[in-house]
Amino acid sequence: MIPVIALVGRPNVGKSTLFNQLTRSRDALVADFPGLTRDRKYGEARIGNQPFVVIDTGGISGDEEGIDHEMAEQSMAAIEEADVVLFMVDAREGLNAADDSLARHLRQRNKPFHLVVNKIDGINEDVATSDFFSLGITSMYSIAASHGRGVRQMIEDVLAEFPPEEPREEDEDYYKSIRVAVVGRPNVGKSTLVNRLLGEDRVVVYDQPGTTRDSIYIDYQRNDKDYTLIDTAGVRRRKNVKQTVEKFSIVKTLKAIDDAHVVILVMDAHEGLVEQDMHLLGHCIEKGRGLVLAVNKWDGVEPDQRDWIKTELSRRLVFAEYADTHFISALHGTGVGHLYKSINAAFDSATRKLNTNALTRILEDAVFDHNPPMINGRRPKLRYAHAGGQNPPLIVIHGNQTGKVPASYQRYLEKIYRRELDLVGTPVRIEFRTSD
Ligand code: GDP
Ligand code: GDP
């Protein structure tokens, strides 16, 4: 599973700078979730072929009171969620009482951590780092986050303990059971839906143990099909242990999406599409996951509001129009059974083996109907296509000058392939290879 790195340290040591370096200033994946403060940012990053999640925290000042106290809590929560912690200090400021106290905190946590001496640009590195030896932390890196110096090497080192997994896509067993993740913001009705999805049928469940950071995996059968429900809301755990509400966790949600074939994104009809829904949706699309949208609490929506909500949603969801949208009431069970039809269709589409001859024939027809536009007097020539992978389906198209095919034409091909192959509920990726 994708490793998680937390950045902690006093304010101003350079955490945000490093965060931005690592995520290449792509916006934080998810910001400002209710129940989390603005001080915790999550981003996805990649070094080589190793993806990881990085969490930026507000910072810990040492004497935690008031706002500082809240910041410290956030940092502690981030440490809890992380696999490994980068404890950042400022080479220019030198050792500080707050650093000492944070080091003590970290030792008590039983979580692997490394000391990162930042801002070593333009100063004597040996002198700067020697100041921090007294912390007694043997694993130490010195970097200049703002210049990117030492960053790549450090991350490669830190991640060496987490070797990338074999691509699951090549594992036959991975397709035996349809892996469905139920995700969404706090309070949209995930737990209620999970209970419904399971309660509908005679479910043979065996829970796989996990920490509070992990989702619960629930295997069951429905109409002779095998499913694995990835429950981010922790319903089963709650039933068995204690009835406390599961804490919403971004890391858990991201991991669940990564690990699923099909994601059910649950939204609240009363609130419409909020920014946080869009973040999660963006992540599902980027990951190429099968997708089903469940607009929940439909029972509470006045009939004269319904058309308006539907119109508004389809307007804002044009970029995810491949996904089926269901208007459901998890509370009453209305519409829940229909979700399975979309789940199955998305899974079948996402994992179908595509035939080279068919792909090439569809390409020829598409080009015959509508040629790619000329660029500088030359027209890209698209010759043949073959399947490049599944989940999501990848179609590789060979030809000349394919680098000049405009994005609009690529979308045209996507649309044709989707229609001709009857692919629903999954993104379709197209990749061009050029032979000139
Ligand atoms: P945070 O509060 O820990 O998130 O710290 P920031 O990332 O906001 O950085 C605080 C200040 O330190 C900013 O003015 C940064 O430009 C500066 N800074 C961060 N990294 C470096 C570095 O490697 N070298 C230098 N010289 N300044 C840095
Ligand atoms: P979670 O935090 O996403 O797991 O959300 P819960 O399943 O705990 O639900 C949050 C609240 O919304 C609870 O009070 C539920 O009873 C309520 N709720 C869930 N689904 C529905 C629904 O379809 N209709 C209505 N009216 N309330 C619902």
Region 200-204: mean pLDDT is 47
pLDDT at 140: 94
Q: Is residue 201 predicted with pLDDT exceeding 50?
A: no
- Structure confidence by residue, pLDDT tens digits, 219-275: 888 888 999 999 888 776 555 444 455 667 788 898 899 899 999 999 999 998 888
Strand order in the sheet with 429-434: 381-389, 394-400, 429-434
Q: Answer yes or no: is 110 a known binding residue.
A: no
pLDDT band with cut points at 50, 70 and 90 for residue 70: low
Q: Is residue 68 predicted with pLDDT exceeding 80?
A: no
Q: Is residue 66 predicted with pLDDT exceeding 50?
A: no
Distance in Å, CA 68 to ligand 1 centroid: 19
Q: Answer yes or no: is 56 a known binding residue.
A: yes
Region 103-126: mean pLDDT is 91
- HEC string of the chain equals CCCEEEEEECCCCCHHHHHHHHCCCCCCCECCCCCCCCCCEEEEEEECCEEEEEEECCCCCCCCCHHHHHHHHHHHHHHHHCCEEEEEEECCCCCCHHHHHHHHHHHHHCCCEEEEEECCCCCCHHHHHHCCHHHCCCCEEECECCCCECHHHHHHHHHCCCCCCCCHHHCHHHHCCEEEEEECCCCCCHHHHHHHHHHCCCCCCCECCCCCCCCEEEEEEECCEEEEEEECCCHHHHHHCCCCCCCCCHHHHHHHHHHCCEEEEEEECCCCCCHHHHHHHHHHHHHCCEEEEEEECHHHCCHHHHHHHHHHHHHHCHHHCCCEEEECECCCCECHHHHHHHHHHHHHHHHCCCCHHHHHHHHHHHHHHCCCCCECCECCEEEEEEEEECCCCEEEEEEECHHHCCHHHHHHHHHHHHHHHCCCCCCCEEEEEECC
pLDDT at 262: 97
pLDDT at 282: 87
pLDDT at 237: 57
Distance in Å, CA 135 to ligand 1 centroid: 22
Residue with more model confidence, 345 or 390: 345
Residue nearest to atom 12 of ligand 1 (CA): 14
User: Which of 17, 25, 124 gets mutated to test ligand 1 (max ligand atoms within 8 A of its CB)?
Assistant: 17
ipTM more than 0.85?
no
pLDDT at 75: 77
User: Which amino acid, 163?
Assistant: P
pLDDT at 59: 55
Q: Is residue 203 predicted with pLDDT exceeding 60?
A: no
pLDDT at 347: 97
Q: Is residue 382 predicted with pLDDT exceeding 80?
A: yes
Q: Is residue 208 predicted with pLDDT exceeding 60?
A: no
pLDDT at 393: 94
Tokens of 90: 């400022």
pLDDT at 32: 43
Q: Answer yes or no: is 191 a known binding residue.
A: yes
Region 61-78: mean pLDDT is 61
Euclidean distance between CA atoms 226 and 232, whole angstroms: 19
- Structure confidence by residue, pLDDT tens digits, 135-147: 989 899 999 999 9
Residue nearest to atom 18 of ligand 2 (CA): 189
Q: Answer yes or no: is 12 a known binding residue.
A: yes
pLDDT at 287: 87
Mean of per-residue pLDDT scores for the chain: 85
- Structure confidence by residue, pLDDT tens digits, 156-200: 999 998 877 666 666 677 788 999 999 999 889 998 999 899 875
User: Which of 7, 146, 147, 151 gets mutated to test ligand 1 (max ligand atoms within 8 A of its CB)?
Assistant: 146
Asked if residue 297 has its Cβ within 6 Å of ligand 2, the reply is yes
pLDDT band with cut points at 50, 70 and 90 for residue 43: confident
Region 391-406: mean pLDDT is 91
pLDDT at 44: 81
Handedness of CA 311, 315, 318, 323 (dihedral sign): negative
Q: Is residue 79 predicted with pLDDT exceeding 70?
A: yes
**Atom number of ligand 2 nearest to Cα 332:** 23
